[in-house]
Each structure stands twice: as structure tokens, then as C-alpha cells.
Structure 1
């Protein structure tokens, strides 16, 4: 009886591992790498680099995605509306998307900021406006602290940058463990995670509407691959201690800074993180948009682009644009995205 039970358990584990390996390959076939891998000193970072166009009116822009994401997220939000205006670098953070993890330091925002700086070296980008969404906000802040001479400006979009009460979800803690984490990610994450992609992406946008083609265009399933999920979990688990130690240093940041956040963001609380940044960084402008959730990059892309223009020295009234965005969101009703079409997008001076 015991031998039979043990054999059944082993068989289930083998089937689960085989299914995860099969689905990992299927995910990569569905969402192949659209970037280019660059060696930055012993490991490779993946990125989409759009060279500076002759029509550029903005400095170079470096985009840093959040937790559970990849470069496609920011690429889909910003590449088209900013086409012809700037050199752009969309990065798969170390251990995410198709980037290799690299050294142990890359489990922290400081290590990832340094890795992005080395990638900029390889791509010939001397300085840039750095745009960080969610977890990417912690990396943008680290970049501003560690590479001030390369930071022309900082744009934080719904950033995670300050200590928060409580911990993280149990599955991150489990996935980051040495042995149990390996078993969990190789056996269970894909079958469980595939069921949650739809609801998970909807919750990230809530109370706004998620674009219908968001999953197809941004490939969130890439994070379900075992090695990627473990890297993502380590990042998340390490973040609280990291920001607790480094948030007091944000006052050292001198780069022009804009923070865009929503008052209805239940993923990263604006009263802790965005208001904290506005308090800590001298001269930072806080733009709080009513009825906006965790995705200002998609729902209020026009405001984010105006903020980039403002950081580049162009006159922009961000508070007026935020007020117009609030009207637009409200006009779509509860649950609507309010994202403008190209003809609706506003650029105000």
C-alpha cells in the first residue's frame, strides 16, 4: 500500500514537471524574444533599443518594467506614441523576460540599476530620463542615487519605493526558498498561474479597464517560467528590507523628478510610496489622478508623455493634464480605461 502510494506521488510529480517543461517551451514559442541580448560583463541583458531619430526633440529614454513583467509592457505603452521623438531603451530586467540573471547583486534594485547603466554604456547612451513603473520605481530611484551624472530626469509611475506594513504574498516567499522554491516553481506555478493570468491582469488595471489585447501584446505568461518566477519572487521578497534601508537616502536625489500615481491604486498604495517620494526628493512634482489604478502608463499615457516633456525642459502643465484625464476617465464610466485615442491625446503648455 505504501509503495503504491509513493509510486503514485512520484508519478504525479513527474507528470507535473513534464507539463511545466512543455508549457515553458510553448510560452516561449508563443512569445519569442523581440529584443537583442548584450553582454554587459559575464552575463547578457535583453533589450529593445530604438536609436535616436533625426527628428528627436527629447533626451534618451530608458524604461524599466515592474514585477512579473518584461520589456513588452512599457514598449507597448510608449514606443508608438513617442516614435520619432527620442532614442529609447526598453529593458528586460536581470532575470526577467529574456535577460540572464547575472550576479547575486541583481536580486536587489541597486544591482539592477548598475546592470542597466552598463547596458547603457554598451549602447552608447551617456545619460537619459529614466522611467520606472511599480517595482521599476525602486530601480529608477537606485539609478538616480548611484548614477546621478547619467540621470537627466526621473519619472515614477505608480512606484514601489518605500516600506509598507505587512509582508508579501505567500507564494513569493515559498518560491524564493532554496529547495522548496525550486520544487514549487517547477511543479505548480505554471498550472496554477495560467489560470490566474486573466484575473491577475484585470486586477492590475482595476478600477480601469484592461485593454482587450493587453495579454497578447505584453506576454505576462513569461513570468510563469520556473527560473523567471524564482527571480521575480526573490526581487519581491527582498524589496521591503531594501527600501527600508535606502528610502532615507532619496533626499540625495537631485535629478528633476515627476511622480504620477492614482488614488485608486490598490497594488501599490500612493499615500506611502508616491507621497513619500514627493516628500523625500526636493522639487519633485506629484501628480495624483482620481479614479486611476496601477497603470498610468496605459490609462493616462498622455500625462506620462507630458511629464517626460516637462523633465526635458518643455513647458507642460501636468496638473491641468491630470484634471483633463480625470474627466476623460469619468466620462467612460466606472471600470473604463479612459485611455485617449491618438486624436484625443492632449499636449498642453
Structure 2
């Protein structure tokens, strides 16, 4: 009996220490999340889409616009700045634009369980467009945003003037997802992880992780400051992102066979050195499934054609809009600019 007391005492001390550590991490996470929010405040407006609000930057249609309205959908772990930063300077004065924080990302509210899959998020984006008086648009989707763009075209063909996919994630793939996505989406352990360990661990990987997404192309020095990926490390946003990613594979497995129904003009821009999504599955799959789609392969391009080959992406938008554009020439120009890129993922 006496021998058990030291063991029991040690266990009590150990458990108490763990609980104190977790409580400390939770407080630190809350304070750090507020600091991140203060550094990256909302820059647009909140649009009511039926019981919850999406944060969006709306650029009104300019006089003399030569392009239809453009709607930009960001990928996983991102927010609207990831598309606004590269595209707005290139396209301002040419089109009405809507840059949207997807439900539960950036400064947008999550809404209900329908937004746990791309079709629900596509419906929310459609309502945001209608709220701003946009009856139809070219939909531009990067990475995870590609699955939403495809879902948008399926559900709202009359609102889809065209599609531009940039390194899209749209089809089922071999293997699974990173362990922390599966952990974070679980009911009990997930919130605990998101509120204690995810943010401090994520901050240590923010620069290197972003560099890996860009590789073999160099990450812009100011990318993290300008596009605010740290916003996804806030506990609820982190959980929303994990749910999105964990649900993507079963969703596209079910929906991808319907891509043959898409009739909108389509261009797909992808790189042969993308280490995030398997271009030969997703991009080639879209080109196979969507009748008339044009696939533009770029040698030595990673997962960020939106930032690395923005001019080519603009040419793709022009092509979808009906402007006479030779994308082969544009692709050759892009490839020439990337020929010597050899940035390495920090690991």
C-alpha cells in the first residue's frame, strides 16, 4: 500500500503538469490568434448569404471593361489574399472582380454542415455573386478551389461563363492525407489539438511550408506577409481547413464522373513539377472529362501558377472570355522564365 503512494503521487503530478501545459498552450494560442488577426484584418465587406456571412473584396465593373466578371476561389490553407495579390494588379480596369474567403476561411463565417464539401461552398459563392449583382462570371479556382469551381459549373451552369483551373485538385488520388488533417477533424481530440498545438507548430513551418508549395520556383520574399496564410492557424479556421481536406477525396470520387456534364469554355494550367497535387490525375482528368478543355502544361512549374505564371493565367482568362489568344506562345514564354528555377523544399 505504501509503495503505491509514490506511484500515485507521480501520476497526479504528471497529469497535473500536462493539464497545466495544455492550459498554457490554449491561452497562448488565443493571444497569438488575436495578434495574427490584428496583423491581417479584413479588407473587404461581409456579404449575407443566408444566415451567415462571407468576407469578400468586390471590385466594381469599370468603364470600358473588356472581360466578363471574374470570381476567384482560393485553395486549402488560404484566403482571398492569395488570389487578390497576384491578379488584382494585372486585371484592375479590365473586369469586375470578386475575391472571396471561402466559408470558414479568412474572415468568412463557416455556415452550416453543407459547407463541409465543395458543393456547399459553391452554393455559398453563387449567393455572394447574386448579392453583388453578378449574374454570371468566369470562375477561377486554384488547387482545392478547383473542386469548388467544377462543382459550381455543375450546379450553376447559367452562372458560369467559363472556367480557369490553376493546379486543380478535382479527382480521387492514391494514398491519403497528412495525419494532422485526420486528427484535427475528430470530435474531441481535434478541437484540443487545434486549440493548443496546431498554431505554435504551424508558425514554425509557415515560411518553409510555403516554400515547399512553390518549389521548384522560389517563393516571393514577402509572400507570407502579403497573403496571410497564418490566418488558417487560428483554431476554428484550422479545423475548417482539416474538414475540407479530409472530405475532399470521398467527395471528388463521387462527383468527378459528372464532370462530363460541364459545357463551359475551360482552360487548365498546371506544372510538371507540382509536388502538392498529382497533375497527371487532376489536370489531365479535367482535360479528359470536359469536352473542349485546353490543358496547358508548364515545365518546371510547381503548385503556384497563380503567383509564378500570373501573366499566363491572365492569358487563360482572356482565352476563356473569347479573346484570340495563343496559349502555346504564352506557355513557351512562361517556361523560358522558369527554366533555371531550382528552389528546394526545405523539408
TM-score, with structure 2 as normaliser: 0.95
1:300 aligned onto 2:309: yes
Distance in 2 between the 1:168 and 1:247 partners? 19
1:309 aligned onto 2:318: yes
In the TM superposition, 1:56-71 aligns within 5 A as 56-71=65-80
Distance in 1 between the 2:125 and 2:117 partners? 13
Could you tell me how far 1:119 is from its partner in structure 2? 0.4
1:262 aligned onto 2:271: yes
1:52 aligned onto 2:61: yes
1:335 aligned onto 2:343: yes
Tell me how large the CA RMSD over aligned residues is: 0.9
Could you tell me how far 1:323 is from its partner in structure 2? 1.1
On the 8 A contact 2:300/2:341 being kept in 1, the answer is no
Query: Match for 2:201 among 181, 192, 216?
Result: 192
Who is 2:115 aligned against?
A: 106
Distance in 2 between the 1:241 and 1:7 partners? 40
1:150 aligned onto 2:150: no
Distance in 1 between the 2:16 and 2:295 partners? 59
Distance in 1 between the 2:341 and 2:231 partners? 32
On the 8 A contact 2:266/2:292 being kept in 1, the answer is yes
Distance in 1 between the 2:191 and 2:260 partners? 39
Query: Match for 2:130 among 116, 121, 126?
Result: 121
TM-superposition CA deviations, 1:295-324 (whole Å, max 9, x none): 001111111001111111100000111011
Aligned with 1:207: secondary structure?
Answer: coil
Who is 2:246 aligned against?
A: 237
Query: Match for 1:273 among 273, 282, 298?
Result: 282
Who is 2:4 aligned against?
A: none
TM-superposition CA deviations, 1:244-300 (whole Å, max 9, x none): 000000000000000000000010111000000000000000000000000001111
TM-superposition CA deviations, 1:135-175 (whole Å, max 9, x none): 00000000000000000000000000000001110000000
Distance in 1 between the 2:300 and 2:77 partners? 24
Distance in 1 between the 2:116 and 2:341 partners? 41
Distance in 2 between the 1:164 and 1:282 partners? 22
TM-score, with structure 1 as normaliser: 0.95
Who is 2:92 aligned against?
A: 83
1:16 aligned onto 2:20: no
Query: Match for 1:6 among 15, 18, 36?
Result: 15
Instruction: Give aligned pairs, total.
Output: 335
Give the gaps of 5 or more residues in structure 1.
337-349
Could you tell me how far 1:333 is from its partner in structure 2? 4.1
Distance in 2 between the 1:263 and 1:159 partners? 13
In the TM superposition, 1:316-327 aligns within 5 A as 316-327=325-336
